[in-house]
Structure formats: C-alpha cells, structure tokens
Amino acid sequence: MFKIILILSLFINTLFALEIEEKRAFYNILTDSEIYIDKSNSLSIQEIQQQHFSKNTQKSLGFGYSPDFTVWVKFTLENRSSTKIDKIIEYANPLTTNVTFFDPKSNRTIEDGLTNIQPNRESLNPIFFITVEPHSSKTFYIRAYSHITTLIVKVHLWDTNSFYKHEIKYQFILAIFFGAMGIIILYNLLIYFGTKEISYLYYVLFFLFVVIHQLLYRGILSLYILSSNSITQIVEFSSFLVAIIAFF
C-alpha cells in the first residue's frame, strides 16, 4: 500500500512539475506552485510533506499583517535535458522577517529574511541556489513567516547570469534615485540657511524621511547599513515613519 501511495505521489509531482530550460532567463514560479497555510506555526518539513496543498494561480500573494500563521510554498521543477541546470530561486520581498528554503531530496535547509540575512548575500532579496540533474525532477519548499511586517509572497526562478544583470541594474537605478534625493535635500537645506524660510526646512525633513522609508522598504538598510536587531526596532515604528512623512 505504501509503495502505491509513493508511486502516485511521484506521478502527481511529475504531472504538475514546471519544465525548466537552461537558456530561459526568468520564470514566475508562484503561478506553478501549491500553497498551504499552517495556522499552528509549528509544522516541520517532514510534517508539511504529508499535508494537502492547494493549487495557486496568482503571481503574488498578499496576506497583510499576519503573525498568526505561516505560508508554505511547494513547487516541482523538471529538467528534461541531458545536462544539469543551475538556477537561482528569488524570494522577491526583502521585508518578510523569516524565509526558509527546503530541498528535501538533498537534505538542505537555508534560512534568510529581514531578521536573518545570510552573511554572504549581496542581493536585496533572499536568493537560493539550486541544481536539477538531467532527466529528473525535484520538489522544493519555501516557508514564509512575518511577525512584524506585512506578508507578501513572490517567488521567481532565474538563470544565474540574468539574475545578476538584473540585480546590478536594479541597484544602479536605486543608487541614482537616492543620489537625486540627496541633491534635493542638500539644495533645500542650503536655501533654508540662506533665507531662513521654514517651508524649505519642511522640504528637507519630508525628503529625508522619504529616503529612510525607501531605504527600509527596498531592503538596503537591512543589507548594507544596519544590523538585524536595529532593523527590527525600526520596523516596529514603521507606521510612525509613514505618519511623519505625511506630517511634513
């Protein structure tokens, strides 16, 4: 009986597997994934493999502020070619506090997220490196939990070179944006010192807090500037940060 269940499970996984290609740069694999909501916040990877997952068709999932449950994402990737394929899985949200990647077949677990950034990570979003051998398929799991920020789930699959080209371009655009904001702040600050007109000080404070908010929202503060403990404290006052922007 157990062998029959195992064979059926393997057949179903293959049936719903996403066929991947070495030359294809990008997939949004959340639309080819299955979702399970763990309302107990306690299931292990062994226990979760026994649960019934629901098919997902959305490109992103937003749960708002949801500290009372954990979202599990399950997806199977199939390599029908004669060569192994290396890919990068990107969890495209830097604000989720806890993101855990599971590769049960290789017995591999990687933890990441806003409060637990990997020491060698250079990307703004959590990423995980995978390999799928020729003529085989592998099932992966991602556990997402967020206790102080909104829970938004986005999962992408990238070719390695394409991902780093995208990441460099994205960070370069952000650098231009923050540079421009810095010039605006400096310009208005100089005018304020020259004219003593209070409205220019309001401009300075408004753009300053906009910059802080975007540094946090884009994951730059947590990756390059502050420690996990400091980020946790700042995020707890994020509503105040938004309010003070509106005030100025």
* pLDDT value, residue 11: 44
Among the candidates 112, 135, 158, a domain finishes at 158
* pLDDT value, residue 8: 42
* pLDDT value, residue 236: 77
pLDDT in tens, 59-93: 999 998 888 899 999 999 999 999 999 999 999 99
Which residue positions in the chain have pLDDT lower than 50? 1-14
Please tell me whether residues 106 and 42 are part of one structural domain: yes
Among the candidates 143, 158, 173, a domain finishes at 158
Among the candidates 158, 173, 195, a domain finishes at 158
What is the Cα–Cα distance from 33 to 30, expressed in whole angstroms? 5
Domain hosting residue 230, numbered range: 165-247
Q: pTM for this structure? A: 0.88
* pLDDT value, residue 60: 95
Question: Burial of 216 by CB count in 10 Å (0-12 exposed, 13-18 middle, 19+ buried)?
Answer: buried
What is the Cα–Cα distance from 177 to 160, expressed in whole angstroms? 26
What is the Cα–Cα distance from 123 to 90, expressed in whole angstroms? 9
Of 37, 244, 44, 242, the residue nearest 149 (C-alpha): 242
Please tell me whether residues 52 and 132 are part of one structural domain: yes
Is residue 78 within 8 A of residue 13, CB to CB? The reply is no
Please tell me whether residues 140 and 54 are part of one structural domain: yes
* pLDDT value, residue 225: 87
